[in-house]
A and B are shown apart, each in its own frame.
Chain A
Amino acid sequence: MRHANSIRISKKERLFDRTNVVIMLIICFVTLYPIWYTVILSFNDGGDAMKGGIFWFPRVFTLDNYRAVFRNSGIITAYSVTVLRTFIGTVTNVFFTAMVAYAFSKKNLFGRKVYMTLGTITMFFNGGLIPFFLLLKNLNLLDNFLVYIIPTMFNFFNLLIFMAFFREIPDSLEESAKIDGANDFVIFLRIILPLSKPVLATIALFTGVWHWNDYFFGVIYINKTSLQPIQTYLYKIVAEAGSSRMAISSPVGVSKSNITSNSIKYATMVVTTLPIVLVYPFLQKYFVKGVMLGAVKG
């Protein structure tokens, strides 16, 4: 009796396991296929793609879409703005937030309670879009590359993650440096930062991805096309195509070309996403830890 019972349970369990595996594989397919579909369209002849019927692989393979992307000076400028803002923005944000977090992590710092309260309030209240916009206008940051850097230089949530990490570093290290005559800033620079590589990498990844993907600042605070990032450039193409039927099939530039605005759009999308997909596997182990650290402390 007992024996038969356990077999019945294991049969049920096997069914559960198999169903579970199938559902998970379906989720993976549903997640990956839309991305794959865009990639194959970017490698397909634009004119041919308009006929439809492409599902798994490019039908008329071509690199012309990519050639057109790399020949377009507007795309190149926008891409450079993105690279530049991501690099400068990430370095300044990580350095500045870590520096403030280091000072805040000192339990006996004079005024620490007031500082922390001031910061915590900002997680729940803010002035909203319009007062922020007017502030940037008064600071002459509209239509200025620095709008990508200065207003995004500090993040209170990241500060909490840094603080949690800094607390784990033994005080004795800092004390011996102090005896050698180092001041707090030198200690932060020479001792704390080199010991904090994992948390620096996590925050750098989050900040970097945000900068890379942000199109919003480019839409709201920037009018000059020479300062717009690649995501804003793409946003304008995508938003235009969404409302009009004609834009979808109208070819860009000379009519003899088989490159459509759509095929250029797909190639630009791939080129824009590629850097993220390339760094993603290397940084995965960091960000999972980072989210968990944030989850525990936040």
Chain B
Amino acid sequence: MKTKLFLRLRKEKYLQMMALLGIAWIIVFNYAPMYGIIIAFKDYSIIKKISEVDWVGLAWFKEVFTDENFIPIMRNTLAISFMKLIIGFPLPILFAIMLNEIRQVKLKRFVQTVSYLPHFLSWVILGGILMAWLADVGLFNELQTMINPSHTPINYLAKPKYFWLITVFSDIWKELGWSAIIYLAAISGIDPQMYEAATVDGATRFQKIWHITLPSIKGTISILFVLAVANLLNTNFEQILVLKNALNASMAEVIDTYVYRMGVQSGRFSYATAIGLFKSIVALCLLLTANKVTKKLTGHGLY
């Protein structure tokens, strides 16, 4: 038995070396940080080793929930996420269906090419573009002054009340076309005979969309919906960090930016890890619940 395993391992020694290099990387960069989570239950300080510092139980979590910043941060996180889910989730589906209905092949290809493009721009570039539109000397204020000469220019990015809208719509602008690719792939897999049969039966375009296209991509929609709900607390960190500033912070601070500010910038590592862990646990519950509910409703789920 022993020699058999030995012979097998010797035969695949190069493959094992290649695989174990990958496993070593995964252990260092994925599993070691998971072990690091225990500092959320300890009084960690940067000058000591994790094993040397004292356990403090749930003290950091108590501090998180009683922190006066906690409620506004949760509110901002959930508000931005839910708006992205409610507005941003159905739009790519609608866009994919409408794009699929375009009969001119060249136009279709052109629209596709253009709509993917913003996905390849960075959030920093997008922040710069938004500023050219929304600053007090920006395009929006210019247009408003043209219509109403007595208009006082507003720096939209400095006003907290516009932050959620800016975040949600800039995200849609950037990702609409890209998110639609996966639905387009699903639509292109539909058997054309179904549409032909429906045409013979006298179905209108809208009826074909409603009774053939949508039910055929239901599985894809369900899976992406589960993933979107699981990511509900992951407001796009890169996006928020670019758009957030000292003036709009009251509506812009989300869990991710707060963890960064408390941990990396202020050095309160244990406290920031506790918030991060709270977020991960909620995200896991959301994933499990969304998967269960979606599976019951549509028969499709992640697992």
Q: Which residues of A contact B (CB under 8 A)?
A: 9, 12-13, 16-17, 20-21, 23-25, 27-28, 30-32, 34-35, 37-38, 41, 50, 52-53, 96, 99-100, 102-104, 106, 109-112, 115, 118-119, 122, 124-135, 137, 139, 151, 153-154, 156, 159, 183-185, 188, 209, 212-216, 219-220, 231-232, 234-235, 237-239, 241-243, 245, 248-249, 265-266, 269, 272-273, 276-277, 280-281, 284, 288, 291-292, 295-296
Contact = CB atoms under 8 A, between A and B. Distances in A.
Which label, helix, strand, loop or mixed, suits the secondary structure of the A interface? helix
A235 B124 contact: yes
A266 B39 CA distance: 43
A151 B103 CA distance: 46
A213 B139 contact: no
A280 B120 contact: yes
A184 B276 contact: no
B15 A106 contact: yes
A24 B107 contact: yes
A174 B133 CA distance: 57
B293 to A, nearest CB: 18
12 contacts: A32-B114, A38-B129, A122-B26, A128-B33, A154-B26, A219-B241, A231-B124, A239-B242, A242-B243, A242-B245, A272-B122, A277-B120
A3 B260 CA distance: 68
A209 B245 contact: no
A151 B25 CA distance: 8
B86 interface: no
Interface string B228-257: 000000000110011101110000000010
Contact of A131 (B36, B114, B245): B36
A192 to B, nearest CB: 11
A242 B173 contact: no
B126 to A, nearest CB: 9
B15 A103 contact: yes
Contacts of A235: 124, 127, 241-242
B56 interface: no
Given A32-B114, A38-B129, A276-B120, A100 B22 contact: yes
B98 A20 contact: yes
Contact of B133 (A28, A34, A296): A34
Contacts of A277: 117, 120
A296 B132 CA distance: 40
